[in-house]
A and B are shown apart, each in its own frame.
Chain A
Amino acid sequence: DGGITQSPKYLFRKEGQNVTLSCEQNLNHDAMYWYRQDPGQGLRLIYYSQIVNDFQKGDIAEGYSVSREKKESFPLTVTSAQKNPTAFYLCASSMWGENEQFFGPGTRLTVL
């Protein structure tokens, strides 16, 4: 089945540790996105990538890093520099030039 997978669904980390969230898609989509969702707020764009080996900062990129070594994969690292990392993280993908995005199931990160 085609789709987007994120793992794990729930993740707990101690303060000060870096953590990497996985996002994989087999839809042959060119573009991939990372969003953060906090209670009472709309999704906010962290990073996006339109092509392999290239990515752009979104609205709230500070404290995060990404890589796009393969078309299918767009991992997000939440670094210790992120002041408030506890949130729900959603990955999405789309065909290049198309508006419709397809979302993964999300990862809920809790930093203790």
Chain B
Amino acid sequence: KNEVEQSPQNLTAQEGEFITINCSYSVGISALHWLQQHPGGGIVSLFMLSSGKKKHGRLIATINIQEKHSSLHITASHPRDSAVYICAINNDMRFGAGTRLTVKP
């Protein structure tokens, strides 16, 4: 079993919809990362969080350390949000398999 599980694997939404991507992990951590990978392959760090909630523009990330769960939310989704979203934990940087998001106009 992978230490980091993401759901769903694929997600298609209409522009404007509220998006939620989930990440569960099985080991104790001190920080969790959300990354964004665009079709070209480059990866950008969105959030690093160890408790509570962080917000950046239309993106919100939450984490519950006790439940070993994190969510990434996108409000008012837009086609330019289409990408693969990856969750990673800082125990030797273990990565989830990613969630492929497609936002249709």
Q: Is A101 an interface residue (CB 8 A)?
A: yes
Taking CB atoms, residues of chain B closer than 8 Å to A88 are 41
User: What is the total number of residues of chain A having a CB less than 8 Å from a CB of chain B?
Assistant: 20
- By beta carbon, the residue of chain A nearest B2 is A42
Q: Is A2 an interface residue (CB 8 A)?
A: no
Q: Is B74 an interface residue (CB 8 A)?
A: no
Q: Give the interface of A toward B (CB within 8 A).
A: 33, 35, 40-45, 88, 90, 92, 99-106, 108
Q: Give the interface of B toward A (CB within 8 A).
A: 2, 4, 9, 30-31, 33, 35, 40-45, 48, 86, 88, 90, 92-98
- By beta carbon, the residue of chain B nearest A41 is B97
6 closest A-B pairs by beta carbon, nearest first, are: A42-B95, A103-B43, A106-B41, A43-B95, A105-B42, A99-B90
Q: A42-B86, A42-B96 in contact; A100/B33 too (CB < 8 A)?
A: yes
Taking CB atoms, residues of chain B closer than 8 Å to A40 are 9, 97
Q: A42-B2, A100-B48 in contact; A90/B97 too (CB < 8 A)?
A: no
Selected A-B contacts with CB under 8 Å, 28 pairs: A33-B93, A35-B95, A40-B9, A42-B4, A42-B96, A43-B88, A43-B93, A43-B95, A44-B95, A45-B92, A45-B93, A90-B43, A92-B43, A99-B30, A99-B31, A99-B48, A99-B90, A100-B45, A101-B45, A102-B45, A103-B35, A103-B44, A104-B42, A105-B40, A105-B41, A106-B41, A106-B43, A108-B41
Whether A42 lies near B42 (C-beta < 8 A) is no
